Chain A
Amino acid sequence: MQVTEKKHAQEAHDDHGHGHELAHHFVSVEQQHDAGNLGMWMFLTTEVLFFGGLFAAYTIYRYKFEKVFEQASNILDPMLGAINTIVLIFSSVTMAFAVRSAQQGKSKAIVAWLGATIVFGALFLGIKYGEWKHDAHLHVFPTSDFNWTWAREKHAEGEHGHGHDSHGPELKGFVFNSPVVPANYIESDSRNPEAKQAKLFFFLYFSMTSLHALHMIIGFGVMAVIMVYAWYGYYTPHYYVPVESVGLYWHFVDLVWIFLFPLLYLLGAHLGAGH
C-alpha cells in the first residue's frame, strides 16, 4: 500500500490555547465534530430501544386489558399533562436557541438559554411532583399499598367537587403521608381481578414517567456542567459538540414525553368524569 506523508493539525499536541478544540486522535475539527454528532445519534438509538421494552409491554397489556386501562388512565388529569407538554415544548425551543448561540459563539447567551431550559424543565418536574402527590392520596402507587377500589371512589369524589384533601388522614401510609386504606377496601380489591390490571397500568405509568424524569434530571446535570464551561468561553463556532449533543438529548427526552402523554393521559379521556 502506498503511503504519502500528511501533516497533522498542530493543535493536536498543544496543551493550551485551542488544545481542547481537537483531540489528538482526530485529523480535523470536522472529523471530530462528525464523530461526536454521530455518537450522540447512536446513543439516542439505544435510548429508543431502552424505552422500547416498556412501550412493548404497554402495548401488549393495553390490548389485553383495554377497558381497565381506559378507566385507569381516566384517573390521571389530562389538563396537567397538557400543560406539561407545552412546558416541555418551550424548553425544547430554548434549547434550540442555546445551540444556535453556540454556533454563533455567544457564550453568555448559551448560559442564559440553557438556564431557561432548566427552569422550564424544573417547572415540568414540579407539576409532575404535584401529580404524584395526588396519586399517592389515591393509592395508585403500584406497591402493596395500591388500592383500586379506593382510587376510583376518591377520584369520583374529587371530580364532584370535594377536595381530595378532605378525608383527614388518621394514619400515615406508604408514600407522601397518604391516608391508610380501610380493611374493607383491601377486601374488595382482593375479590376484583381488575385491580391487578389497573395496578399494571399504574406500574407502567410510574416506571415510564419516572424513567423520563430521571432522564431530565441527568440532562440538568449535563447542562449545568456545560453552562460552567460556556461561562468561561470554552465553546467556539468551531467546537460546540457538547452543546449540540445535549440539545439532541433534550429534544429526544421531549419527544418521549410527546408519546407518553397520549398513551397515558388521553387513553380514558372520553370516559369523562366519575368513572
Chain B
Amino acid sequence: MSTIITSAPALAPASKEPGQGGGVDYLNHETSIASWLLTLDHKRIGILYLVAMSAMFVLGGFYAGLIRAELITPKGDLMSSDFYNKSFTAHGVIMVFFVLIPLVPASLGNFMLPLMIGAKDVAFPRLNLISWYVYMIGAGFTLVALIGGGVDTGWTFYTPLSTTYLNSNVLLTATGLFILGFSSILTGLNFIVTIHRMRCPGMDWFRMPLFVWALYATSVIQLLGTPVIAITLALVGVERLLGVGIFDPRLGGDPILYQHLFWFYSHPAVYIMILPPLGVTNELISTFSRKPIFGYSMMAGASLAIAIFSFIVWAHHMFTSGLSPYAAMFFSLLTFSVAIPSGIKVFTWLATLFRGSISFDSPMLYAYGFIGLFTIGGMTGLFLSTLGTDIHFHDTYFVVAHFHYVMVGGAIVGFMGGLHFIWPKMFGRMYPEFLARMSAILIFVGFNLTFFPQFLVGYLGMPRRYHEYPNEFQVLNVFSTAGATVLGVGYLLPLLYLPWSVFFGEKAGRNPWGATTLDWTHTESPPTPHNFEETPVVTGEPYKYDTLFNKESALAGH
C-alpha cells in the first residue's frame, strides 16, 4: 500500500502553477478502481464516504417517502401497520446511524481537516481507510437485516420490546450498528490525534479555522460516547440470545437502565450530528460576509461547551419513563443550559453578518437557511426540556418536528452548504450556480412546509409512530406530504448537477471564494496528492478578510 503514497509525485513541478488545475492532482495521479479502494489519501477516503453516505441518504429518503405517502390519508390504506413500523425504523436507523452521525466529519471533515491545519494527511491514514471499510461492513449487516425482513423496534431499540416481544431482525441490526460504532470511534480518534499532533508550524490552537474546533469537539463525543452504545447493543443481543434479564423486568432486569445507557450515547450523538455543520457554517458566514468571525474564542469555546453539556443532559429523553422527579428537575435545568452556547453561536453569526459585505452565493443561501432552521429547532427544544410541557408533547409529532428541524434543517442543510462550499476544492470545478440556488431555496421552502405543520399537529396531540390518525389531522398531514415532495426535488437537483459538474463544470481555480484559510490559499483545486508542496508556516489569524473583496489579491495568496 505504501506504493500509492511513495509513487505520488510530491516533487512534480507541473502543479506549481496556481489555479490552472492542469497538473498532477489527487484525482488524476492514479485512476484505477484499486487505487481508490486501497487509497490512504484522506481526500479520497472523504469522497468514498461521500458516495456511500449519499446512497444511504437516498435509501433513507425512500423510506421517508413511504411514510409520508401513507400519512396522506387518515386510514392505513397504503401499507400494513407492520410494514409501517418497519419503514419508520428503517428510516430512523439509516438516517441517524449511517447518514447523520458520520455525515460531515467523515466526508467534509476527512477532506478538509488536514488541508485546514497544513498537514499532509491525518495522523493514521491506514486507520482512516479501515474506518471506511468498517462503515461498509456495518452498513452491509444492517441493510441485510432491513431488507431481509426488517426491524420494527423504532431506531431506539427500547427494551423489553426489542429483547422479548419482537421476532424481527433485531440481532442482525444491532450487530451492524455495533460494528458501525467502531468506524465512528476510529474517525474520532484519528481526528483528535491529527488536531493535536499534525498542525503545521505557527498553527496554534487559536489560529485554527473554527471548523477544526467543531471537529475536535465532535471527535471527543464520538470517542467517549460510542463505546457505551456498543456495549449496550451487545447487552441487548445477549439478552435476546441467553434470556438473561439485564433489561427485562420479568427476569429481574431494569428497562430504565437500557434507556439511561442508550441516551448516554444517543443524546451526545445529536451533537455529533450538529456540531460539524455548526463549524462549517462558521467558514461560510465568515467567507461570504468578508469579515472575520465575531468572537472567535467564544465560538471555539461554545463548541467545546456543547460537547461537555451533551454528556450531562441525556435523561431529558426519559421525563415520562419513571425518572425520579428530582432527577427530572435537575436534568431539565441542565438541558436549558445547552441553550447558552447555542445562543452564543447564533448571535455570533448575526454579529458577523452585521455590516459585512454579504453575498447570496449558493453556499451562503444554505447558511442563511441553517441559521433560521437551527434557531427554530433549538427554541422548540426548550419547550421539550420544560418538565410540564414535555408531558404534553412527549411522543407527539411536536418532538418529530423538533428533531427534524435540528437534524435535517440543521445538520443536512449545514452539510449541503459545506458541500457546495468545498466542491470546487474537491473537484476543481464549479457547479451551475443557478441550479444550486434553486436547490437551496427548494430545500428551505420544502423543509418548512414539511415540518412546520408537524409542530401544529403534534401540539394538537397526534402521536408519532402510528400509521392511522383521526380525520381532523388530515389537512396538516397533506401539507406535510406536499412539502416532502418539494424537499425531495430539492435534494434530487444536487444529486444530478453535482456529478455533472465533476466532468463538465467550469474550472474553479485555486480560490474561487476568496477565502483566507490554508486549504484555499495554499493548495491547488483539486489539491495535489500530498496537499502542500512545502510545509506552510502560519503567522496570523485564520480569517483576515477585508470587506472590500479583491479577488485578484486573494488569488495571489498574499
Contact = CB atoms under 8 A, between A and B. Distances in A.
B232 interface: yes
Interface string A184-211: 0000000001001101100100010000
Interface string B346-374: 00000000000000000000000000000
A226 interface: no
Contact of B224 (A45, A61, A196): A45
A57 B535 contact: no
B238 interface: yes
Contact of B189 (A13, A15, A42, A57): A42
B245 interface: yes
A13 B539 CA distance: 28
A203 B537 CA distance: 56
Contact of A57 (B10, B235, B540): B235
A5 interface: yes
Interface string A157-200: 00000000000000000000000000000000000010011011
A64 to B, nearest CB: 8
B230 interface: yes
Contacts of A229: none
B245 A53 contact: no
A42 B119 contact: no
Contact of A1 (B242, B243, B518): B518
Most chain A CB inside 10 Å of its own CB: which residue of B185, B232, B242, B260? B242
B252 interface: yes
A27 interface: yes
B261 A45 contact: no
B2 interface: yes
Contacts of B120: 24-25
Contacts of B261: 53, 56-57
A49 B252 contact: no
B227 interface: yes
Nearest to A45: B223
B242 A142 contact: yes
Nearest to A200: B252
Interface stretch (B29-37, B121-129, B275-283, B414-422): B121-129
A60 B242 contact: no
B192 to A, nearest CB: 6
Interface in A18-41: 19, 23-27, 31, 34-35, 38-39
Contacts of A46: 185, 189, 223-224, 226-227
B246 interface: yes
Contact of B252 (A4, A25, A54, A196): A196
B61 interface: no
Contact of B198 (A35, A50, A197): A35
A130 interface: no
B227 A60 contact: no
Contact of A199 (B230, B252, B537, B557): B252
Contacts of A45: 223-224
A25 B246 contact: no
B5 interface: yes
A129 interface: no
A221 interface: no
A217 to B, nearest CB: 17
B45 to A, nearest CB: 13
Contact of B227 (A23, A27, A50): A50
B380 interface: no
A203 B242 CA distance: 9
Contacts of B51: none
A275 interface: no
Is the interface on chain A under 10, 10 to 19, 20 to 34, or 35 or more residues? 35 or more
Contact of B235 (A3, A53, A61): A53
Interface in A191-250: 193, 196-197, 199-200, 203, 207
A270 interface: no
Interface string A136-150: 000000111000000
Contact of B537 (A6, A54, A61): A6
Interface in B118-169: 119-125, 127
B257 A24 contact: no
Label chain A's interface by main secondary structure.
helix
A52 interface: yes
A50 B231 contact: yes
A1 B540 contact: yes
A53 B262 CA distance: 10
B115 to A, nearest CB: 13
Interface string B212-255: 00000000000111111011100100100011111000011110
B189 A65 contact: no
B535 A27 contact: yes
Contact of A35 (B193, B224, B245, B252): B193
B189 A3 contact: no
Contact of B193 (A23, A42, A51, A56): A42
Contact of A34 (B197, B535, B538, B557): B197
Contacts of A47: 227
Given A13-B10, A65-B252, A49 B235 contact: no
A47 B231 CA distance: 10
A203 B121 contact: no
Nearest to B114: A25
B518 to A, nearest CB: 7
B251 A3 contact: no
B321 to A, nearest CB: 15
Which of B125, B190, B223, B253: most chain A CB closer than 10 A? B253
A39 B196 CA distance: 10
A49 B224 contact: yes
B433 interface: no
B74 interface: no
A142 B242 CA distance: 7
B546 interface: no
Contacts of B201: 6
Interface of A: 1-6, 8, 13, 15, 19, 23-27, 31, 34-35, 38-39, 42-43, 45-47, 49-54, 56-57, 60-61, 64-65, 142-144, 193, 196-197, 199-200, 203, 207
Closest 9 CB pairs of A and B: A53-B231, A50-B227, A25-B121, A196-B252, A25-B120, A49-B227, A35-B197, A203-B244, A35-B123
28 contacts: A1-B536, A1-B557, A3-B534, A6-B535, A13-B6, A19-B2, A24-B120, A24-B121, A24-B530, A25-B125, A35-B123, A39-B123, A39-B190, A42-B193, A46-B189, A49-B227, A49-B228, A50-B230, A50-B231, A52-B228, A54-B235, A57-B246, A57-B257, A196-B252, A199-B251, A200-B244, A203-B238, A203-B242
